A and B are shown apart, each in its own frame.
Chain A
Amino acid sequence: GIQVEQSPPDLILQEGANSTLRCNFSDSVNNLQWFHQNPWGQLINLFYIPSGTKQNGRLSATTVATERYSLLYISSSQTTDSGVYFCAVEIYSGAGSYQLTFGKGTKLSVIP
């Protein structure tokens, strides 16, 4: 099956710093989503981005489908950005069915 690798696995930032999270995938995908999982387990949608670049406030994402990677940029980080960031790729699994395959996540800790 498809492999989704996220890096780095752990990241500690000083408040106000910028960071880049990477997601590599091993095969063509139908779509890609970025999520932030808060400490209570809720997955919050950040971006739905099969290709190109999108921005939402301090966050932006770029997916280069032809090279099978996506990047999530966080600028001017805040303590509330702490949590685990997941990349998930949507693949076709046959008979009209699509499924999300997740990476293992990047655990971000932002310290004051």
Chain B
Amino acid sequence: ETGVTQSPTHLIKTRGQQVTLRCSSQSGHNTVSWYQQALGQGPQFIFQYYREEENGRGNFPPRFSGLQFPNYSSELNVNALELDDSALYLCASSLSTTSEQYFGPGTRLTVT
């Protein structure tokens, strides 16, 4: 059974650019959640996708957007990057909207 995978592993972008991060969910899981983890902090919930629809959002501006595909993989898009967007971005998949979440290895984004 393949676990949750994310790509790329690391990414360096310039302020004002746009970025797309990708996540493949664990086999059989239909729900993907995205989190941002700043250095020294716990992960913060960005949003959740269930059956290709956004199903809940944390306190993040609209320039953070996402997609979920029919195979339940997902993308996180961030527009107009700011220096404070530098963080580890984690995605998690689960069997349903309220079941144990399993995390991928993360994408480390640096904005300069």
- In the complex, A16 Cα to B55 Cα: how many Å? 44
Q: Does A97 contact B (CB under 8 A)?
A: yes
Interface, chain A (partner B; CB < 8 A):
4, 30-31, 33, 35, 40-43, 45, 48, 86, 88, 90, 92-105
Q: Is there contact, CB below 8 Å, between B97 and A97?
A: yes
Instruction: Pick the interface stretch among B15-23, B66-74, B98-106.
Output: B98-106
- In the complex, A96 Cα to B55 Cα: how many Å? 7
Interface residues of B in 64-104 (CB under 8 A from A): 88, 90, 92, 97-98, 100-103
Q: Is there contact, CB below 8 Å, between A102 and B55?
A: no
Name A's interface SS: strand
Q: Can you list 21 A-B contacts (CB < 8 A)?
A: A4-B42, A33-B100, A40-B105, A41-B88, A41-B90, A42-B106, A43-B92, A45-B100, A45-B102, A48-B100, A86-B42, A86-B43, A97-B48, A97-B56, A98-B97, A99-B45, A99-B48, A99-B56, A100-B35, A100-B45, A103-B42
The residue of chain A having its C-beta at the shortest distance from the C-beta of B107 within the complex is A41
Taking the closest CB of chain B, its distance from the CB of A14, in whole angstroms, is 25
Instruction: Point out the residues of chain A lying under 8 angstroms from B88, CB to CB.
Output: 41
Q: Is there contact, CB below 8 Å, between A100 and B101?
A: yes
Q: Does B44 contact A (CB under 8 A)?
A: yes
Q: Does B108 contact A (CB under 8 A)?
A: yes
Interface residues of B in 12-43 (CB under 8 A from A): 33, 35, 37, 41-43
Question: Given A43-B90, A43-B92, A48-B100, list of 5 further CB < 8 A pairs?
Answer: A30-B98, A41-B105, A94-B56, A100-B35, A101-B45
Taking the closest CB of chain A, its distance from the CB of B47, in whole angstroms, is 9
